[in-house]
Structure 1
Amino acid sequence: MDNKIQIGKIANTHGIRGYVKVIPLTTNMYRYDDLKEVFIDEAKFEIEDVWYKKDVVMVKFKGYDNINDVICYKNKFIQIDEKDLIGLDQDEYFIFDIVGLQVYLANGKYLGEIKEVLQPGANDVYVIKTKKSDVLIPAVKEIVKDINVKENKMIIDPIEGMIE
């Protein structure tokens, strides 16, 4: 069975005709245009219609034609099969690939494990769990020197004072 990847969270219903309002959990919210089916929990849903309003996606599932059909999915996550992931450019990674990586300093010293990726704005921030505390590292090329998902390893070279 393929792994399922979360790409959105149903925030609410929209109108009375069975649409749901989805908060996208992807950098390309328009990727919903290319999806034919998604999963909620373990159930498969065929997408009938998609449209966009500001920073949310309105989705209608085939056979779900009124608000009472979809209200039970509020706060549920929309998932896709791993095979339906969009392609990434070189040096781009999915968050689920980054979480769990073992982080080493450029001098080879082990620092800790990435436990979370924050997305506050201009760039992502990696939350690294060390022996002492959590360390926040901006995901910028000046600091992150290498990411090797196959080896489960990241090498960073933080500026002085960033890690105490």
Structure 2
Amino acid sequence: MPAEPRPGYTAVARVLRPHALRGELRVEVFSPTARNIQRGRPVYLRGVRRIVQRARPAGDDWIIKLSGLETRTDVEDLHGELIEALDSDVLRDDAESYFIHELIGLAVVTAAGEALGTLVEVLQPGANDVYVVHGARGEILVPAIGQVVQSIDLAAGRVVITPLPGMLDESP
């Protein structure tokens, strides 16, 4: 089961388990609006292009039906598989929405121009994401909140932050 999407693709959901008997899947969706798994959207599962035939919320998860998967047997071994969309087909929730894989590898600098390192991981503990940055100061945890993150520029490959008081003082 892949942990990361293939190059050129964005992971939009992960299969949790089969649902019922007619090839439906219970999935964890990676976007609050689930725009990329709505009826008629093209997605890829194990590299095979499929069309979302049905999608409905089920608590925190979604139940979806993909073309070509007709029975429970067809979907029994898909637990943990990523559902991907072509990068060019991905619908964003808004202009300031980013997928985690887009952030990994970006340079992180302060608004004053100090290079802090590279964003290596995004933690999702609850209220807000936390960016894990590795650099000369060691590991820095950056809360992904508007007060701290000033800009994210994917084209330039960098995140500009204004550290909270004391945020950098503890680094070596």
Q: 1:58 to 1:91 in 2, by over 3 A?
A: closer
* 1:141 to partner: Cα distance: 2.0
List alignment gaps of at least 5 residues for structure 1: none
Higher helix share: 1
**Mapping of residues 55-134 of structure 1, within 5 Å:** 55-134=60-139
List alignment gaps of at least 5 residues for structure 2: 1-6
Q: 1:135 to 1:83 in 2, by over 3 A?
A: same
For 1:13, what is the secondary structure of its paired residue? strand
Following TM superposition, where does structure 1 have runs of at least 4 consecutive aligned residues deviating by more than 6 angstroms? none
Q: TM-score, normalised by structure 2?
A: 0.84
RMSD: 2.0
Give the count of matched residue pairs.
163
Percent of pairs with identical residues: 28
Q: 1:149 to 1:11 in 2, by over 3 A?
A: same
Q: 1:34 to 1:66 in 2, by over 3 A?
A: closer
Query: 1:65, 1:147 → 2: CA distance?
Result: 42
Q: 1:105 to 1:151 in 2, by over 3 A?
A: same
For 2:88, what is the secondary structure of its paired residue? helix
Query: 1:13, 1:116 → 2: CA distance?
Result: 30
Query: 1:6, 1:23 → 2: CA distance?
Result: 11
Query: 1:88, 1:19 → 2: CA distance?
Result: 25
Q: TM-score, normalised by structure 1?
A: 0.88
For 2:25, what is the secondary structure of its paired residue? strand
